[in-house]
Amino acid sequence: MKTKSLILAIALCLGLASAAPAAAQSVKFGIVAGMSLNKLNFNGDGGRFDSENRYGWYIGPKLNIGLPLGFGLDVAAQYSQRRMNLNDDASETFKSIEIPLNVRYNIGLGSVASIYIATGPQFGFNVGHRHWSFSDMQETFSMERMNTSWNVGAGVKVLSHLEVGVAYNIALSKYAKHRFQGEDYSFKANTFQVQLAYLF
């Protein structure tokens, strides 16, 4: 069921991305970079883990497609490094390629600035560690090769080129899983983001 839902979501996103340029009022390329605040949510851990917020960063190219009636489409390919922890003694940095695909609505504030709200799916692909081992517990989490999440965000665009925004990335799938003493553990990674983008 999860696989079918994921395939449907990807197909929908690709369909939107391919159809949008035909109706586009403007197409701009740019670069986006930002800081993230990451926190793990556990399932089945019995209170053994206590994750706290950890910082990360990301950067990559971005495509902004302006559509009629104030709507638009944002697509990016971001290299991301997230610092995450299980407790005070077990933390690690994880590397991934994140592909957000957000539908946005723009509200003009004259010729100088506009504000926007955005939402859409994000697909993450692990390009770093496949396992997270922590010797003090003699356990290892297996990191998923791919994970999905959902973005909700808002921001301001100035002079049609500079964007500053915030977003919350809600995990929809497991980030890692582990089986220990006959019990299954897993965690998801939710992320708060502050980002800056420049469109050429």
The rounded distance, in Å, linking the Cα atoms of 83 and 38 is: 7
> Which range (15-24, 65-74, 137-146, 183-192) has the least confidence?
15-24
- CATH assignment at residue 81: 2.40.160.20
Instruction: Check residue 177 and give its pLDDT.
Output: 81
**Cα gap 143→106, rounded to integer Å:** 37
Q: Which of the two residues, 14 and 49, has the higher pLDDT score?
A: 49
Split at pLDDT 50, 70, 90, the class of 59 is very high
Report pLDDT digits (tens) over 156-177. Answer: 999 889 999 999 999 999 888 8
| Per-residue pLDDT, 1 | 45
Between CA 197 and CA 104 the distance in angstroms is: 15
The residues, any chain, with a CB within 8 Å of residue 138's CB and separated by 6 or more, are: none
* Res. 2: pLDDT tops 60: no
Per-residue pLDDT at 71: 93
Residue 95 confidence (pLDDT): 94
Mean pLDDT value of segment 72-78? 95
> How many structural domains are present in the chain?
1
Range of the domain at 150: 2-199
Strand 26-43 versus strand 54-66 pairing type? antiparallel
- The DSSP-derived string for 100-161 is EEEEEEEEE-SSSEEEEEEEEEEEEEE-S-SEEEETTTTEEEEEPSEEEEEEEEEEEEETTT
pLDDT in tens, 43-56: 766 566 777 888 99
**Greater pLDDT, 145 or 52:** 145
b/e sequence 133-158, b meaning 16+ C-beta within 10 Å: ebeeeebbbebbeebbbbbebebebe
Q: Whole-model pTM?
A: 0.82
